[in-house]
Amino acid sequence: QVQLVESGGGLVQAGESLRLTCTASGFQFSASTMDWHRQAPGKGRELVATITPSGANVVYVDQVEGRFIISRDNAKNTVYLEIKKLKPTDTGMYYCKTPLQGGIWGQGTQVTVSS
| pLDDT value for 65 | 86
Using one digit for the tens of pLDDT, what is the confidence trace for 102-111?
Answer: 999 999 999 9
The predicted model gives 56-69 an average pLDDT of 94
* Model pLDDT for residues 67-104, shown as the tens digit of each residue: 999 999 999 999 999 999 999 999 999 999 999 889 99
Count of other CB atoms within 10 angstroms of residue 54 = 10
pLDDT at 86: 97
Average pLDDT taken over every residue of the chain: 96
Helix ranges (H only) for the chain are: none
- DSSP letter for 36, please: E
Q: Does residue 8 register a pLDDT over 90? A: yes
